[in-house]
Amino acid sequence: MPIDDRIPRPEAGPVAWRSSANHNSMMDRFRAAPSKPSGSVELAYFGSSAFRITSPEGLTVMIDPWRNHPLRQWDWYLRDMPMTPVDIGVSTHAHFDHDALNCLDAHVLLDRLIGTYSFRDVTITGIPDKHATQSGFGTYDFKMVHRELNGVNIEPPDNPRSWDNCLVVVETGGLRILHWGDNRHDAPDDVYEALGRIDIALLPVDGSQHVMSHGMTAEIIARLKPKIVVPHHYYIWDLTTRGSTLMPADDWVAAQPRSRQVGGAVARYTPEALAGLETTVDHFGDHVAFDKLAWRTGA
């Protein structure tokens, strides 16, 4: 399906040419002898669906940074995500709340990765599938909106590019961390087989059931049986606008058999700490790993 040239092309895209940083640190890592570092894996939440994973060796991976829609017809966030330095940036799909790779000062960008990328103590695998489209149970039916207002059918297999999705699995420190993006819950069996063992699953959950119903989320958890489930893609009062129609995930979290409030924007995990653990929800709540006040005021 070709790009629709009727759509204006706003200023967006790679900004690495403006960065004063360089990849000297990656050169040093590339040349260094192989190592098997021990230690915890750090998971930091940046709001919306954005997470930074830090490997035991210190390599950083940011998945799904966010921005407002580039046409500026409606805003989901009070501002675009602040520019954030990381080693590797990854996007699961081409929606504005997941694809702001231009907000990362990164050495490596993996946009809608299909296949495997490996460097030092991190391996990232992208598994291609499709975005969720069963939206009738949410606050509004976005499938109907796209069909009636834009004349676009988002149902696979003939969906536009932005309704593709790549599930992302990050392996580091003996853990397998899955970022679901906005994938459909009823992915084919071969997709679930490719996912394999999942220790930590980052799943889109909010009170409006924007991406998936809570029943669909339960089906994913029952099939994957992860040790940890981390909700994302929910409303945060001083980050997300009401126009997003998103709601907090608090009620869903409270209804789960086992849940914990992280109490900050950063959690750390090791295989030993997760051994024998029954599926537990870790909730970051309104905490994000940057100064929201400075961000909102442009300080």
pLDDT tens figures, 60-119: 999 999 999 988 778 999 999 999 999 999 999 999 999 999 999 999 999 999 999 999
Q: Looking at the 3D structure of the chain, how many domains does it have?
A: 1
Provide the residue range defining the domain that includes 106.
Answer: 39-297
Query: What's the whole-number mean pLDDT along residues 136-152?
Result: 75
115-119/104-111 β-pairing? unpaired
Are residues 83 and 146 in contact, defined by beta-carbon separation less than 8 angstroms? no
- Residue 264 belongs to some domain of the structure: yes
- Residue 113 belongs to some domain of the structure: yes
Quote the pLDDT of residue 26.
Answer: 96
**Alpha-carbon gap, residue 127 to 118, rounded angstroms:** 15
**Model confidence, pTM:** 0.94
Q: What is the DSSP string of 44-110?
A: EE-STT-EEEE-TT--EEEE------TT-SS-SBSSPPPPEEEEEEEESSSSTTT--GGGEEEEEEE
Query: What's the whole-number mean pLDDT along residues 1-22?
Result: 69
Quote the pLDDT of residue 3.
Answer: 54
Query: What's the whole-number mean pLDDT along residues 176-185?
Result: 97
- Residue 249 belongs to some domain of the structure: yes
**Mean of pLDDT over the chain:** 93
Quote the pLDDT of residue 151.
Answer: 81
Confidence of residue 185 (pLDDT cuts 50, 70, 90): very high
**Alpha-carbon gap, residue 187 to 185, rounded angstroms:** 6
Query: What's the whole-number mean pLDDT along residues 194-222?
Result: 96
- Residue 146 belongs to some domain of the structure: yes
Q: What is the pLDDT of residues 215-248, one digit of tens each?
A: 999 999 999 999 999 999 999 999 999 989 999 9
Question: Interior CA angle at 173 toward 277 and 88, to 5°?
Answer: 120
Residue 244 CA to its chain's centroid (Å): 17
- Residue 276 belongs to some domain of the structure: yes
- Residue 221 belongs to some domain of the structure: yes
- Residue 25 belongs to some domain of the structure: no
Q: What is the pLDDT of residues 12-52, one digit of tens each?
A: 667 888 899 999 999 999 999 988 888 999 999 999 999 99
* CATH classification of the domain holding 52: 3.60.15.10
- Residue 236 belongs to some domain of the structure: yes
